[in-house]
Amino acid sequence: MSKSLKTLFQVVGAVVGLLLLVAIVLPLFLDLNAYKPRVESAASEAFGMEVRIAGDLGIGLFPGLRVTLEDVRIRNRGTELLKAEKVGIGLDMLALFNKRVRIRTVVLGRPTLSIERDRNGRFNFEKSEQAPQPLPRLTLSRVSFSDGTLSYVDRQSGRNIEAAGCGLDAHRLQISDSGRPGILRNLDIAAEIVCGTVRTREHVASDLNVTVDGQNGVFDLKPFTMRVYDGQGTGSVRADLTDAVPRYHVSYTLSQFRVDAFLKTLSPRHVPEGSMDLSANLSMQGNTVQDMRPTLQGQVTLRGKNLILNGRDLDQVFDRFESSQTFNLVDAGAFFFAGPVGLAVTKGYNFASILQDSEGRSEIRTLVSDWKVERGVARSQDVAMATNQNRVALRGGLDFVNERFDDVTVALIDDKGCIRVKQTIHGAFKKPVVEKPSTLKALSGPVVKLFKQVGRLFPGGECEVFYAGSVASPK
């Protein structure tokens, strides 16, 4: 080893040893907690929020100069926005020699982030009106946390979301001082977010994984993956916040989700068994859910094969229906509504009644539910299902703006797609009007069977085709 290289190693070793000595001795002679009020005051003034440090302050030199804060809480607009068991702040040592404080990294230990939107539409992370200064310009090379909890509460709609077991790794985070109102319009971020579970009032998802890339008020969440009802979901979300009215675009596919897991909230006794595929491509704009509904447009599709319905033999019911009419045909349409409406239509009408019987078994060989959404109204495009012996089709619209059924008709159809029996539903989701069934063949059961047999022998009769979609007639 050359003499110069040996000297260099000696110098480096001496510096490292000195830093170790300072790291050990400095806390013994310096009462950092005496500086807590000044740190709290400076942070509160800089961010326009109330910052409190309930625990101790500490300092370390490895792997770089860092300050640790224990039990940190941030409040804004009368709510607790953030609390963390520990916060590690990495500082730029060279900047300190120039009498400047430059934060390089922030690491949070077991944080809880609680975002709220009040009844006036303002978020609790927005700067209070009393805060006189704009948000400080901030550039961080890394922000991270693990084992965190995230919650969102919307006081306007009553909706809430809670995520647990969450982690964040942001390798780019910058808050500019462009003067644009709102922190999100001044945020530049590139990050990965993972969460073990995500819960709403009715639904549970797991294994959430999101990549976020946002700048100048436009944020892309892509890819966006999670498991829902034992199915794998993947998609993307774009949020454009550059204008006064935010614009959103959502593209999402949920493959092979269990329909029994989805519908068990309706009827824990008997639910259909099998897997389905759901896809949605929707755009909307607005500051609230109410504002977004009239702007909603796009496509929603629900597909399934070989679904098993325990508790009722639909073919037997349909065979008797034309004569007895003791079964609401609209009940069969409950399967179609699962895609575009979800549980919304169950507010006033018990679509789960088809699941309440305890005898019989049905196989739904094919189910297709394609909808086009324009100005907040979903119009049926190809909506039908086939059992072993029958086909049921649906036509009409679902008005989300006014929360009404727009002349929805469910029909039992023949091989040509013509109506054998039909039933309509209209009015408000919360209190719909279900008309009595009407049939074009007001005949007794045995005569109906004879008529069907004659029809097969002598085809070619004219009728108004109700359905001409992709679901084929049972063979």
- pLDDT score recorded for residue 445: 41
- pLDDT score recorded for residue 461: 52
Say yes or no to pLDDT of 268 above 70: no
The DSSP output letter for 418 is B
Query: Could you give the CA distance from residue 416 to residue 218 in angstroms, rounded to a whole number?
Result: 50
The two three-digit tokens of residue 362, written as one number = 């049905």
CB-based burial, 9-44: b 16+ in 10 Å, e otherwise = eeeeeeeeeeeeeeeeeeeeeeebeeebeebbeebb
**In this structure, is the dihedral angle defined by the CA atoms of residues 59, 60, 66 and 68, taken in order, positive or negative?**
negative
Domain segments of the chain: what residues?
44-228, 233-443
- pLDDT score recorded for residue 9: 46
Give the angle subtended at the CA of 159 by the CAs of 153 and 162, to the nearest 5°: 55
Say yes or no to pLDDT of 220 above 70: yes
Confidence grade of residue 97 (pLDDT, cut at 50, 70, 90): low
| Long-range Cβ pairs for the range 433-441 (8 Å, 24+) | 434/328, 434/330, 434/349, 436/325, 437/321, 437/325, 437/328, 437/329, 439/322, 439/325, 441/322
Choose from 6-20, 188-202, 354-368 the range with maximum mean pLDDT.
188-202
- Which amino acid is located at 401 in the chain? V
Which residue matches tokens 């490895």?
62
Which residue matches tokens 């985070």?
173
Task: Find out whether 420 and 411 touch, Cβ atoms under 8 Å.
Answer: yes
DSSP string, 103-137: EEEEEEES-EEEEEE-TTS-BTTSPPTT--SPPPP
Q: Taking the CB of residue 3, how many other CB atoms lie within 10 A of it?
A: 7
**Residues 246-258: what's their mean pLDDT?**
94
Say yes or no to pLDDT of 148 above 80: yes
- pLDDT score recorded for residue 283: 97
**In this structure, is the dihedral angle defined by the CA atoms of residues 42, 43, 49 and 52, taken in order, positive or negative?**
negative
Query: Could you give the CA distance from residue 423 to residue 326 in angstroms, rounded to a whole number?
Result: 12
Say yes or no to pLDDT of 447 above 90: no
Say yes or no to pLDDT of 344 above 60: no
Question: For the chain, what is the mean pLDDT?
Answer: 78
- pLDDT score recorded for residue 114: 92
Confidence grade of residue 471 (pLDDT, cut at 50, 70, 90): very high
Confidence grade of residue 442 (pLDDT, cut at 50, 70, 90): very low
Task: Find out whether 81 and 125 touch, Cβ atoms under 8 Å.
Answer: yes
Task: Find out whether 299 and 372 touch, Cβ atoms under 8 Å.
Answer: yes
**Residues 44-56: what's their mean pLDDT?**
84
Query: Could you give the CA distance from residue 10 to residue 268 in angstroms, rounded to a whole number?
Result: 74
CA end-to-end span of the chain, whole Å? Answer: 88
- pLDDT score recorded for residue 295: 95
- pLDDT score recorded for residue 436: 77
The two three-digit tokens of residue 148, written as one number = 């965190």
- pLDDT score recorded for residue 337: 58
Q: Whose CA is closest to 301, among 370, 376, 255?
A: 370
Cis peptide before 63 (omega within 30 of 0): yes
**Residues 378-403: what's their mean pLDDT?**
91
Confidence grade of residue 448 (pLDDT, cut at 50, 70, 90): very low
